[in-house]
Amino acid sequence: MRALLLVLLLMTGTPIVAAEADLSAQVAALEQRLASVEATASAAKASVDSTAFNSGDNAWVLLGAMLVLLMTIPGLALFYGGLVRRRNVLGTMMQSLAITALVSVAWAVCGFGLAFGGGSRWWIGGFDWLFLEGVAWTRPTASEAGSIPGPNSAYAASIPFATFCLFQMMFAVITPAVICGAYAERMSFRAMALFSLAWLFLVYIPLAHMAWGVGGLFNWAAGATRFAAFDFAGGTVVETASGVAGLVCALILGKRRRYGEEPMPPHNLTMAFTGACLLWVGWFGFNAASALSCGGLASLAAINTHLAASAATIAWPAAEWILRGKPTVLGAISGAVAGLVAITPACGFVTPTAALAIGAIAGGLCYLACSTLKNALDYDDSLDVFGIHGVAGIWGTLATGLFFARDANPGLKAMNPDLYAMIGDGRHSVILGQLLAVGVAIGLSAVMSALILFAIKATVGLRISANDENEGLDLTQHGEEGYQGLRA
């Protein structure tokens, strides 16, 4: 070490005197300076490590985005495609693909900024990040080259802002795609595209801002007054909103031709089964990656997701077995989706025991909604979007309040100590917050969905003609057949 310090003194031009005492003094001074620099560097590194970019977190959330995309294409496309009749399979699958592309482009142009920008407005963001400038890239200036932005601490301090944007994009994609099941086999492709884009901007984006945006309604505080509603991964924003929209679509479009007069069974349950299994796998990205980090919270969300789905997969066929004599494959995969939907808002806020209860109750509730309730109200929700996504989404949002474990989320106390304390001493009612959030989601989705549908009906039309419906979406909307010669 002494020799190394001597070399450094020579390189820096520091005068070296012959006297041993003088040399020792200079070496001691340099050692002290080096120790100070090392201490400063260690402190800075510790600070950066605790708040800045983490490659493991980034890899996990990027994988989560891919898993959520897998849920839409091919998961939802296969699930819905297998449940319709043969003459509509390509048209139904094309809806998932088209919505993926349309919503992705709209999200990049201005959707992301409207959902997550805009300062402190409680209902909508702003035009902060048009074409993702400031999110995935920065514009070069006269003095500096362009660059890729790092983390945005307001949303996710350990991953690039572009990763957060991509992850949220996949949520925006799947939500209007879910609604397709309600109007399957009878809405024109043009009307579907217009409805999906309008619904994205008028329903999904405002709800996303309210739930997850800075200053959004569900995260609102003014002085001592606070309103908070918890939606870990989209049970309110995605599931409740899409389920209610599906019911409105079914009511306004009316029933399929000869509905109730002839059987309309799924044309390929094997395809639907495969799609449901892909949804189950993809849901780990949907829920666990919503932790936005690869730690204990992601693990809690993952295990809760799997347990709720498993419980519902048992509960729905069990109800069929008791009431109808046989457990069906369709009931099992429908129950799995119901359980996944129900745990979505709660997965990071409840214990595994609560997750089992939430899933089991969701399986029974959704079975009754898709049979007894649907028959009593006599509406044609083709693939039971409301009966599964709407009912399970509402139940899951309310169950988040009923089973909320204040200490189940390891980050809640650190992220929001005031809210943590208010929940503990009863000054904030989690159940009341969840009720209000459900009311907002139902009201906004129902009203805006109806307005959009009536506007499209008055301009370009909603439904395909009776002859086109007999022929099917495949031929009349796309000029192709998925099953040559088979018109069932």
Nearest Cα to 273, choosing from 78, 18, 72? 78
Alpha-carbon gap, residue 330 to 397, rounded angstroms? 25
User: What pLDDT shows up at residue 29?
Assistant: 62
| Burial of 250 per CB tally in 10 Å (0-12, 13-18, 19+) | buried
Q: 123-132, 217-226, 423-432, 465-474 — which is least confidently predicted?
A: 217-226
CA 347 to chain centre: 12
pLDDT reading at 48 higher than 50 = no
Nearest Cα to 116, choosing from 204, 52, 229? 204
Q: CA 296, 300, 302: angle at the middle one, nearest 5?
A: 115
Q: In Å, how far are 116, 136, 275, 465 from 127, measured between CA atoms?
A: 10, 15, 36, 40
pLDDT band at 425 (very low <50, low <70, confident <90, very high): confident
Residues 374-382: contacts with CB within 8 Å, 24+ apart?
A: 379/247, 379/250, 379/251, 379/255, 380/250, 380/254, 380/255, 380/256, 380/259, 381/181, 381/182, 381/246, 381/247, 381/250, 382/83, 382/84, 382/181, 382/182, 382/183, 382/184, 382/185, 382/186, 382/250, 382/256
User: What pLDDT shows up at residue 119?
Assistant: 67
pLDDT reading at 35 higher than 50 = yes
pLDDT band at 50 (very low <50, low <70, confident <90, very high): very low
Residue 225 φ then ψ, to 5°: -90, 130
Q: In Å, how far are 29, 101, 166 from 154, measured between CA atoms?
A: 43, 28, 16
Q: What does 123-135 look like in DSSP terms, one character per residue?
A: S---STTGGGBTT
pLDDT reading at 488 higher than 60 = no
User: What pLDDT shows up at residue 409?
Assistant: 65
User: What pLDDT shows up at residue 413?
Assistant: 67
Which residue stretches of 352-429 are H helix?
352-368, 374-377, 385, 391-402, 412-415, 417-424
pLDDT tens-digit profile of 166-209? 999 999 999 999 999 999 999 999 999 999 999 999 999 999 99
pLDDT tens-digit profile of 76-120? 999 999 999 999 999 999 999 999 999 999 999 999 999 999 766
Q: Strand, helix or coil at 104?
A: helix
User: What pLDDT shows up at residue 46?
Assistant: 41
pLDDT band at 7 (very low <50, low <70, confident <90, very high): very low
pLDDT reading at 274 higher than 50 = yes
Report the amino acid identity of residue 407.
Answer: D
User: What pLDDT shows up at residue 5?
Assistant: 47
User: What pLDDT shows up at residue 73?
Assistant: 95
User: Which range has highest mean pLDDT (47-56, 361-370, 400-409)?
Assistant: 361-370
Alpha-carbon gap, residue 471 to 483, rounded angstroms? 13
Segment 26-55 mean pLDDT:
55
pLDDT reading at 8 higher than 70 = no
- Answer whether 250's CB lies under 8 Å from 182's CB: yes
Percent of the chain scored above 70 by pLDDT? 83
pLDDT reading at 153 higher than 90 = no
The alpha carbon torsion through 277, 281, 285, 286 (nearest 10 deg) reads 30
pLDDT tens-digit profile of 438-453? 999 999 999 999 999 9
Q: Strand, helix or coil at 463?
A: strand
The number of C-alpha atoms within 13 Å of 304 and in the hemisphere containing its C-beta is 35
pLDDT band at 53 (very low <50, low <70, confident <90, very high): confident
pLDDT tens-digit profile of 60-86? 999 999 999 999 999 999 999 999 999
Q: 3-12, 31-40, 109-118 — which is least confidently predicted?
A: 3-12
pLDDT tens-digit profile of 368-421? 999 999 999 999 999 999 999 999 999 999 999 999 988 766 666 666 777 777
Segment 350-373 mean pLDDT:
96
CA 114 to chain centre: 16
